[in-house]
Amino acid sequence: MPAPLRLGLAGLGTVGVGVVQIVQRHADLIAARAGRPVVITAVSARDRSKNRDADLSGYAWETDPVALARRDDVDVFIEVMGGHDGPAKASTEAALAAGKDVVTANKALLAHHGHALALAAESAGRVIRFEAAVAGGIPVIKALTEGLAANRIKRVMGVMNGTCNYILTRMQNAGLPYETVFEEARQLGYLEADPNLDVGGIDAGHKLSLLSAIAFGTQVSFDHVELEGIGNVSIDDINHAAEMGYRIKLLGVAQETGRGLEQRMTPCLVPADSPLGQLQGGTNMVVLEGDAVGQIVLRGAGAGSGPTASAVMADVLDIARGIRLPVFGQPAATLRAPVPAKSATPAPYYLRMALLDKPGALAKIATCLGEAGISIDQMRQINQPGEADDNAVVIFVTHKAAPADIAHAQSQFPATGVLVGQAVAIRIEAV
Amino acid sequence: MPAPLRLGLAGLGTVGVGVVQIVQRHADLIAARAGRPVVITAVSARDRSKNRDADLSGYAWETDPVALARRDDVDVFIEVMGGHDGPAKASTEAALAAGKDVVTANKALLAHHGHALALAAESAGRVIRFEAAVAGGIPVIKALTEGLAANRIKRVMGVMNGTCNYILTRMQNAGLPYETVFEEARQLGYLEADPNLDVGGIDAGHKLSLLSAIAFGTQVSFDHVELEGIGNVSIDDINHAAEMGYRIKLLGVAQETGRGLEQRMTPCLVPADSPLGQLQGGTNMVVLEGDAVGQIVLRGAGAGSGPTASAVMADVLDIARGIRLPVFGQPAATLRAPVPAKSATPAPYYLRMALLDKPGALAKIATCLGEAGISIDQMRQINQPGEADDNAVVIFVTHKAAPADIAHAQSQFPATGVLVGQAVAIRIEAV
Collect all residues with Cβ–Cβ distance below 8 Å to B173 and sequence separation of at least 6.
Answer: none
Amino acid of residue A57: S
Q: What is the pLDDT of residues B89-124, one digit of tens each?
A: 999 999 999 999 999 999 999 999 999 999 999 999
Amino acid of residue A107: K
Q: Are A313 and B150 in contact (CB under 8 A)?
A: yes
Q: Are A43 and A61 in contact (CB under 8 A)?
A: yes
Catalytic hit among B89, B100, B107, B207: B207
Q: Are A139 and B143 in contact (CB under 8 A)?
A: yes
Test B139 with A149 for CB contact under 8 angstroms.
no
CA–CA dist B391, B384 (Å, integer): 9
CA–CA dist B37, B34 (Å, integer): 7
Q: Is B307 exposed, middle or buried (0-12, 13-18, 19+ CB in 10 A)?
A: buried
CA–CA dist B100, B137 (Å, integer): 24
Interface check A430 vs B, CB under 8 A: no
CA–CA dist A342, A214 (Å, integer): 20
Which of A295, A254, A291 lies closest to A276 in space, CA to CA?
Answer: A295
**Higher per-residue pLDDT: B383 or A115:** A115
Burial A287-302 (b: 16+ CB within 10 A, else e): bbbbbbbbbbbbbbbb
Q: What is the mean pLDDT of residues A378-399?
A: 81
Q: Which of residues 322-381 of A touch B (CB under 8 A)?
A: 322-326, 329-331, 334
Q: Are B406 and B372 in contact (CB under 8 A)?
A: yes
Chain A and chain B share a number of CB contacts under 8 A equal to 183
Q: Which of A35, A131, A148 sits opposite B139 (nearest CB)?
A: A148
Chain B CB contacts of A22 under 8 Å are 150, 292
pLDDT at B194: 93
Q: Which of residues 215-254 of B touch A (CB under 8 A)?
A: 217
pLDDT at B258: 86
CA–CA dist A382, A378 (Å, integer): 13
Chain A CB contacts of B30 under 8 Å are 149-150
Burial B83-109 (b: 16+ CB within 10 A, else e): ebeebbbebbbbbbebebbbbbbbbbb
Q: Following DSSP, what letter does each residue of B28-58 receive, concatenated?
A: HHHHHHHSS-EEEEEEE-S-TTS--SS--TT
pLDDT at A64: 97
Walk across the sheet containing B128-129 and list its strands. Answer: B60-62, B38-44, B5-10, B76-79, B101-104, B128-129
Provide the ipTM.
0.96
How crowded is residue B80: how many other Cβ atoms within 10 Å of its Cβ? 25
Confidence grade of residue A384 (pLDDT, cut at 50, 70, 90): low
Interface check B125 vs A, CB under 8 A: no
pLDDT at A258: 86
Three-point CA angle A416, A418, A424, nearest 5°: 95
pLDDT at A45: 95
Interface check A7 vs B, CB under 8 A: no
Q: What is the pLDDT of residues A254-269, one digit of tens each?
A: 999 988 999 999 999 9
Structural domains of chain B in order of their starting residue, each with its CATH number: 5-133 (3.40.50.720), 140-301 (3.30.360.10), 349-428 (3.30.70.260)
pLDDT at A385: 57
Which of A416, A361, A414 lies closest to A390 in space, CA to CA?
Answer: A361
Test B142 with A143 for CB contact under 8 angstroms.
yes
* Catalytic machinery residues of A: 207
Residues of chain A with pLDDT > 70, as a percent, come to 98
Task: Calculate the dihedral angle through the C-alpha atoms of A198, A204, A209, A211, rounding to the nearest 10 degrees.
Answer: 150
pLDDT at A387: 54
Burial B169-201 (b: 16+ CB within 10 A, else e): bbbbeeebebeebbeebeeeebbeeebebbbbb
Q: Are A56 and A62 in contact (CB under 8 A)?
A: no
Q: What is the pLDDT of residues B181-233, one digit of tens each?
A: 999 999 999 998 899 999 999 999 999 999 999 999 999 999 999 999 999 99
Helical ranges in A8-161 per DSSP H? 14-25, 27-34, 65-70, 86-97, 107-123, 140-142
Helix B178-187 vs helix B162-174: crossing angle, to nearest 10: 130
Test A275 with B299 for CB contact under 8 angstroms.
yes
Amino acid of residue B21: Q
Of all residues in chain B, the one with the smallest CA distance to A142 is: B147
DSSP code of residue B347: B
Of all residues in chain A, the one with the smallest CA distance to B288 is: A300
Chosen from A129, A131, A141, A151 to mutate, greatest number of chain B CBs within 10 A: A151
pLDDT at B387: 54
CA–CA dist A60, A71 (Å, integer): 10
Interface check A319 vs B, CB under 8 A: no
CA–CA dist A41, A48 (Å, integer): 16
Q: What is the pLDDT of residues A163-188, one digit of tens each?
A: 999 999 999 999 999 999 999 999 99
Q: Which of B304, B317, B322 sits opposite A150 (nearest CB)?
A: B317
Which of B296, B298, B240, B248 lies closest to B270 in space, CA to CA?
Answer: B248
Collect all residues with Cβ–Cβ distance below 8 Å to A110 and sequence separation of at least 6.
Answer: A104, A117, A128, A130, A133, A206, A210, A220
Q: Following DSSP, what letter does each residue of B162-231 receive, concatenated?
A: HHHHHHHHHHHHHT--HHHHHHHHHHTT-S-SSTHHHHTSHHHHHHHHHHHHHHHTB---GGG-EE--ST
pLDDT at A389: 64
Of all residues in chain A, the one with the smallest CA distance to B30 is: A150
CA–CA dist A346, A342 (Å, integer): 12
Test A149 with B30 for CB contact under 8 angstroms.
yes
| Antiparallel, parallel or unpaired: β B349-356 and B419-428 | antiparallel
Chain B CB contacts of A150 under 8 Å are 22, 26, 30, 309-310, 313-314, 316-317
Block mean pLDDT (10 aa), chain B, length 431: 94 97 98 97 94 94 98 98 95 98 98 98 98 98 98 98 97 97 94 94 98 98 96 96 96 94 97 94 97 98 96 98 97 94 92 91 94 95 66 94 96 95 95 88
pLDDT at A427: 97
pLDDT at A341: 87
Collect all residues with Cβ–Cβ distance below 8 Å to A35 and sequence separation of at least 6.
Answer: A1, A2, A320, A321, B326, B330, B331
Q: What is the mean pLDDT of residues A242-248?
A: 96
Helices (H) and strands (E) in chain A, counts: 14, 16
DSSP code of residue A143: I
Chosen from A33, A273, A285 to mutate, greatest number of chain B CBs within 10 A: A33
| Mean residue pLDDT across chain A | 95
